[in-house]
Amino acid sequence: MQSNGAGQGQESSELPCLNSAQNGESSSAGGTHSNGLLSSADNGNGVGTSNGSSVGPCSGTSATSTASSSEVGSLKKKKRLSQAEEDVIRLIGQHLHGLGLNQTVDLLMQESGCRLEHPSASKFRSHVMEGEWDKAENDLNELRALMHSPNAIVRMKFLLLQQKYLEYLEDGKVLEALQVLRGELTPLKYNTDRIHVLSGYLMCSHAEDLRAKAEWEGKGTASRSRLLDKLQTYLPPSVMLPPRRLHTLLRQAVELQRDRCLYHNTKLDNNLDSVSLLLDHVCSRKQFPCYTQQILTEHCNEVWFCKFSNDGTKLATGSKDTTVIIWQVDPESHQLKLLRTLEGHAYGVSYLAWSPDDTYLIACGPDDCSELWLWNVQTGELRTKMSQSHEDSLTSVAWNPDGKRFVTGGQRGQFYQCDLDGNLLDSWEGVRVQCLWCLGDGKTVLASDTHQRIRGYNFEDLTDRNIVQEDHPIMSFTVSKNGRLALLNVATQGVHLWDLQDRVLVRKYQGVTQGFYTIHSCFGGHNEDFIASGSEDHKVYIWHRRGELPIAELTGHTRTVNCVSWNPAIPGLMASASDDGTVRIWGPAPFLDSQEADGLNENSSNMDS
């Protein structure tokens, strides 16, 4: 332990219960389904009855009339469907239609007295998919009255004409395409920038060139379906359902359950085939790194720092005993074994930083250490031992993303940028550095200082700006992989999460005991959904990033836990370093009895847990 001084509306004419409305998309025979999806005008093969259900070819016999009267009576006795029930029927109908089960859709709509979509929308859909652009434009006039925003007609017409233009070009009908561009698209006086881009496609020498430059699938079902999806966004759902609406709702439900799952720690997969829809999503705490898998006791004094390599295959630990130990992670068992020991750090090792490609490791000492060691991890050789002045304090370091430079500094006012041989490239005067981080842009260096803030420094144009301001000393900080979030350990306050882009405090995590000792926290798990920190009460605390209360408190250490590191490649593996002289490796429960295993398999394995 080191001490340190720092809704949308529905129209009654549009919806569900049929009143002599036609309901269907064309069948293979070219007839009319009773589900509201048509491909052409009513050809007499299906007749909408006064009760809203299609009864097939009209024979005119008394038997048919009797049957119709009987059906009318039975429908009148049925309970009227609620709005929610009608919506569910339409969603199911749309999904079944997408599977090609048109006859089943017909029967569902006939029996329920609902329709899948407005007849005008069905006709519009058919004309778009058939490439009958003039008819599709005429359909827009019918749809105008059903739309909440009549101005959207211009946008829809633009999209139709754009598809028409591109298809003419692909077919080599340049004159027809030019006529569409000049005589139909341009007079709309809409999105002139896009019209200029479209005009450039006239120079395309062949169809493949056109499709590549326009990023367009080409004439056919795929591009017209995509067009229809765009057009639908301008129509109320009561007129035409959004594409694959049931699938969208199910995916959202699965994602919501995962978001609410405290221990979900696997790669996100939005494919519904990867989960079971028959069970709620559950992840067990026993699958989470809450259990001691290994205790590393090779250090003979306080362990101040630990850090997994970027590829997750190694762990580096630094101790007051003047050594750095490199551990190899077994890819199968996740057990660690000693790979090599790096010696000679007279003041002890309080900070470690892996190079981006994991070839090198830099070791720093505590406040009174003016030296920095750059080791070749592969060979175990010391490449550089850097010291600018005996009065320096080099306690923190961060690698530039290019792996050819690093920045280092300390609380005595040193702030240097150096190459791999320790040569000084740049320096910033008068900055008392507590902790450092290089952002992914390769230009900006974040530094926490003795003024309880984090500032961004640009060594290229020599500018700096304030990003984070706390009310208490920032003992350490780390940044998420995407560079958006920063995790701070703040003296007497604990762990704080900041949004670096918006420059706002997002969350304060509760439970941890943090005084004026340097404790290092980390992001972890798949998608960095979790946060872990050591504590002066001898525990490791884990939080879900979105919750202030800890989801796990890990016990086992007997003195302050100085640092935690979550394996970036194995989301179920974590390490913690303590003043008790040990490094603990945490993982899932080592074994489960058969009943627990069955329960986890049923509730979790099938749910991509």
**Per-residue pLDDT band at 50 (split at 50, 70, 90):** very low
Using the predicted structure, report yes or no on whether residue 62 has a pLDDT greater than 50.
no
**∠ CA 89-95-99 to the nearest 5 degrees?**
140
Using the predicted structure, report yes or no on whether residue 590 has a pLDDT greater than 50.
yes
Out of 75-79, 277-281, 478-482, 589-593, which region has the weakest mean confidence (pLDDT)?
A: 75-79
Could you report the per-residue pLDDT of 521-572, keeping only the tens digit for each? Answer: 999 988 899 999 999 999 999 999 989 999 999 999 999 999 999 999 999 9
Q: For residue 577, give the 3-state DSSP assignment.
A: strand
pLDDT for 23 equals 39
pLDDT for 15 equals 43
Q: Is the CB of residue 404 less than 8 Å from the CB of residue 384?
A: no
pLDDT for 57 equals 35
Mean pLDDT value across residues 137-162:
87
Task: Tell which residue, 493, 444, 443, 485, has the closest CA to residue 468.
Answer: 485
pLDDT for 35 equals 55
Q: How far is CA 291 from CA 41, 192, 316, 543, in A?
A: 68, 62, 21, 16
**Per-residue pLDDT band at 412 (split at 50, 70, 90):** confident
- pTM of the predicted model as reported, rounded to 2 decimal places: 0.68
Could you report the per-residue pLDDT of 65-105, keeping only the tens digit for each? Answer: 444 444 544 444 567 889 999 999 999 999 998 899 999 99
pLDDT for 78 equals 62
Average pLDDT of the chain is: 83
pLDDT for 270 equals 63
Q: Is the CB of residue 128 less than 8 Å from the CB of residue 231?
A: yes
Q: Which residue has the higher pLDDT, 36 or 22?
A: 36
**Per-residue pLDDT band at 22 (split at 50, 70, 90):** very low
Task: Tell which residue, 556, 466, 553, 552, has the closest CA to residue 503.
Answer: 466
Using the predicted structure, report yes or no on whether residue 593 has a pLDDT greater than 80.
no
What phi-psi label fits residue 608: left (phi over 0), alpha (psi between -120 and 50 degrees) or beta? left
E strand segments, 387-473: 396-399, 405-409, 415-419, 424-427, 433-438, 444-449, 453-458, 463-469
Could you report the per-residue pLDDT of 492-513, keeping only the tens digit for each? Answer: 999 999 999 999 999 999 999 9
Complete edge-to-edge strand list for the sheet that includes strand 381-386: 351-354, 360-364, 372-376, 381-386
Distance of alpha carbon 240 from alpha carbon 122, whole angstroms: 8
pLDDT for 293 equals 95
pLDDT for 277 equals 82
